[in-house]
Amino acid sequence: MRVFIIFNVIFFGFSQLIMAQNCSLDASLSKIRSLLIEKKSEENIKIEYLKNKPALQINNHVFPISENTHIKLGSDNSVEFFLQKGTAITDVNDPAFKRAYWQINFASKNACKQFIKYFNCLKYH
């Protein structure tokens, strides 16, 4: 039993270290920005990682990065956010704006998968 516990601690600790090394903050933000530009065809998309929350700001919307933020592949080339336990997507310009569900459309299913991958990478920063 002890060997199993030690193995799990080492394995999961090592896998998180590898994931963190493969997910640099700048690379993740850059990739997320390029995936969003692919669909919108506009260069002025604002992407910012908010260290004090932690959260990802896309234009004026703030997406919390926590264990209560669930993200999955939706239909029609979209990514769906489901927030739980009082967390919500907010708007920097409207303090009353709070949403527990949100959807972002992308150019392809592959772009959706890439977005989910890089959004999850932000959890390590």
pLDDT tens per residue, range 9-61: 454 444 444 444 467 888 999 999 989 988 766 668 889 999 888 999 999 99
63-92: average pLDDT: 93
Q: How far apart are CA 46 and CA 93, in angstroms?
A: 14
pTM to 2 decimal places: 0.77
Quick check: helix, strand or coil at residue 69? strand
Average pLDDT, the chain: 83
Cβ atoms of 55 and 102 closer than 8 Å? no
Contact criterion met (CB below 8 Å) for 100 and 81: no
Mean pLDDT over 112-125 rounds to 91
In the chain, what are the domain boundaries?
25-124
Give, as one character, the DSSP assignment of residue 78: E
Which residue carries 């669930």 as its tokens?
Answer: 70
Q: Looking at this protein, which amino acid is placed at residue 72? A: K
Look at 3 and 40; give whichever has higher pLDDT: 40
Q: Give the model's pLDDT for residue 58.
A: 93
